[in-house]
């Protein structure tokens, strides 16, 4: 069976997260999105584990995968996948002597290296890999020169690309040749332009959390989907305060300090990936560059937010015809979409054929797009 998965989200116990992130709301939103598997996020938190216990089997038929994100002693973030919530509880206990907030924070800080955390995850049968690997503040390649520098002798089971990167950014890095790439939303809200804004296609033998882990580990990945990298908020090298963008050479000559305000210039994902690459790109599943349907509708209608009533109403019209957002974005023909709304059909056709103008993000500010 084939399904789409979003395995990295957060709970109300994480910082800057919507209080509407409840299991009920998330499962309902995931069903409308077209996701067949959803990570719980924050499964080291006891309250969040309890919240999910009655939703592991659900009316939406969505496979629930216990997942968590932790920050290590070097501020590098790691995504963890487990088979069941009991193993998450065991992992929380195994890490508790090294964390002051393991029971209170959605994304706890653990005073261990990536390798020491990975060893404990692997001992419990879980999987671990760098979260948003290229992000300059908390990604592995923002702090370490290689996977070995971070994890030592422990292996990684996957690498999460993040919103500012696509497959091309990692495919030329020699040490990642055998590492599966996954794409996830890192959503802090169940809104349709957040949850599932990036996702991974998986080939499963059975609809279980164990099979999701098996599909990731064995590379049974059919596609990655998500933003154009330029839309990510760290794609280009830029000042972290005024967001002025620089080439890597310009930033180096300036000592990585912005002359406008004296603040730090953060190296962008595009420049960091170029530094690390140079190898022969290996064969990878296709990457679908896509934009959330409500953001496309927002552009077409000329409204200020994807959460307006006009956007929501038209979004509902599309789901009434096609069943899910991913069906609209990835499967329906432009002609079929035009039958619901001609201008949205034209926009999706432009998106699929690369007729999009991208305004790259950097320094912590998201990029934007417009249709030609």
Report the distance separating Cα 162 and Cα 158, nearest Å: 12
pLDDT at 372: 73
The pLDDT mean for the chain works out to: 96
pLDDT score, position 371? 86
Q: Is the pLDDT of residue 340 over 90?
A: yes
Condensed to tens digits (0 to 9), the pLDDT of residues 260-316 reads 999 999 999 999 999 999 777 888 999 999 999 999 999 999 999 999 999 999 999
Each residue's pLDDT tens digit, 13-37: 999 999 999 999 999 999 999 999 9
**Domains in the chain with CATH codes:** 2-229 (3.20.20.140)
pLDDT for residue 280: 72
Residue 236 has pLDDT above 80, yes or no: yes
pLDDT class for 40, splitting at 50, 70, 90? very high
User: Rounded distance, CA 327 to CA 311, Å?
Assistant: 18
| Contact (CB, 8 A) for 117 and 71 | no
CA distances (Å), origin 172, targets 169, 179, 357: 7, 12, 26
Task: Please report, for residues 99, 133, 289, 343, the alpha-carbon distance to residue 356 in angstroms, rounded to integers and kept in the order given.
Answer: 45, 26, 11, 15
Contacts of 250 (CB under 8 A, 6+ apart): none
Pairwise CA distance, residues 242 & 293, whole Å: 30
Nearest Cα to Cα of residue 114 among 75, 68, 67: 75
Sign of CA dihedral 28, 30, 34, 39: negative
Neighbours of 190 (CB within 10 A): 22
């Amino acid at each position: 069976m084939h399904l789409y998965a979003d395995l990295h989200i957060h709970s109300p116990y994480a910082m800057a997260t919507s209080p509407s992130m409840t299991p009920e709301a998330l499962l309902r939103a995931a069903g409308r999105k077209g996701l067949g598997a959803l990570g719980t996020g924050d499964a080291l938190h006891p309250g969040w584990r309890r919240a999910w216990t009655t939703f592991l089997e659900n009316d939406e038929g969505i496979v629930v995968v216990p997942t968590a994100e932790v920050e290590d002693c070097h501020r590098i973030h790691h995504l963890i996948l487990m088979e069941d919530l009991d193993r998450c509880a065991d992992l929380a206990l195994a890490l508790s002597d090294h964390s002051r907030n393991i029971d209170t924070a959605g994304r706890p800080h653990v005073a261990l290296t990536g390798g020491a955390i990975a060893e404990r995850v692997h001992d419990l049968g879980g999987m671990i890999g760098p979260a948003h690997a290229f992000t300059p503040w908390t990604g592995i390649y923002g702090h370490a020169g290689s996977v070995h520098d971070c994890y030592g002798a422990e292996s990684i089971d996957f690498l999460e690309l993040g919103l500012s990167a696509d497959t091309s950014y990692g495919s030329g890095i020699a040490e990642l040749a055998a590492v599966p790439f996954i794409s996830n939303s890192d959503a802090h809200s169940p809104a349709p332009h957040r949850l599932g804004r990036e996702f991974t296609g998986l080939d499963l033998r059975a609809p279980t959390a164990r099979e999701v882990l098996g599909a990731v580990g064995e590379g049974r990945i059919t596609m990655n989907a998500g933003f154009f990298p330029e839309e990510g908020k760290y794609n280009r090298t830029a000042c972290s305060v005024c967001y002025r963008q620089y080439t890597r050479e310009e930033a180096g000559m300036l000592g990585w300090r912005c002359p406008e305000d004296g603040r730090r210039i953060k190296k962008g994902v595009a420049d960091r990936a170029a530094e690390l690459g140079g190898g022969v790109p290996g064969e990878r599943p296709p990457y679908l560059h896509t934009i959330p349907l409500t953001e496309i509708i927002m552009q077409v209608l000329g409204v200020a937010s994807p959460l307006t009533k006009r956007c929501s109403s038209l979004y509902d019209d599309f789901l009434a015809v096609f069943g899910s957002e991913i069906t609209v974005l990835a499967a329906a023909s432009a002609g079929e979409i035009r039958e619901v709304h001609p201008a949205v059909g034209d926009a999706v056709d432009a998106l699929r054929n690369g007729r999009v103008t991208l305004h790259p993000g950097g320094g912590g500010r998201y990029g934007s797009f417009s249709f030609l």
